[in-house]
Amino acid sequence: MDARILLASGFVALATIAGVLVVAASPGKPEPASLAEAKLTQPKVAAAKPAPAPIPKKDEPFVIKRILPINGPIKYGQWHWDDKNVPAGPIVVTVDLEARVLSVFRAGYEIGATAVLLGTEDKPTPLGVYPITQKDRDHVSNIYTGAPMPFMQRLTDDGITLHGSNVELGYASHGCVGMPNDFAAKLFATTHLGDKVYITRGKQVGMGDSLVGG
């Protein structure tokens, strides 16, 4: 009897040991050997795609939308200005050497026009497109013996400017564009540094015409 109990006890002990071994040997998720290995086992997360870059707006041409209703040629000393109900927008100034007329456009609408003094054959007013680089309300010339140049707006480094002047028949400038003082004051208050001045010879602008760089 004692021998059978002892034998049974032995079987129970062996079965318990075998169970422990089976549990210990059962497959499971292995622990990572290191922190680096642990990171490698993490699922990969797709990188976020960068937002598409905005497409810049295409520069629109400066299109003439209105010409002031002026009857006949503008005489020396005369000028016109009408900016009533004209929307805000870029300023463009044109000077036609043949017609001897300066025009001011805002957002494509002509708001001002005047007859101007220009240079002579010896010191002509140059053709081209010039940004306004300096403004001086009470400028005095340091080239031409202290001549007053009210409401001066500089176009070139060698002295070509827009400015107020006595615009009368028989007078000329040293290449500058001279205009009546009252008109020059309005133009001075309207423009900003960087606004473009187009000086052409005989180029007439009309409704629907386009100016580049307005």
Q: State how far the Cα of 178 lies from the Cα of 167, in Å rounded to an integer.
A: 7
CA angle 108, 91, 163 (to 5 degrees): 130
Amino acid in the structure at residue 25: A
Share of the chain above pLDDT 90, in %: 56
Q: Which percentage of the chain shows pLDDT scores above 70?
A: 64
AA letter at 98: E
Residue 81 in contact with residue 186, Cβ under 8 Å? yes
pLDDT tens digits for range 55-92: 654 545 678 999 999 999 999 999 999 999 999 999 99
Distance, CA of 54 to chain centre? 15
For residue 119, give the 3-state DSSP assignment.
strand
| Global confidence as pTM | 0.68
User: What topology is assigned to 62-211 in CATH?
Assistant: L,D-transpeptidase catalytic domain-like (2.40.440)
pLDDT tens-place string over residues 25-48: 445 555 544 444 444 455 565 666
> What would the pLDDT profile of 116-171 be if each residue is shown by its tens digit?
999 999 999 999 999 999 999 998 877 766 778 899 999 999 999 999 999 998 88
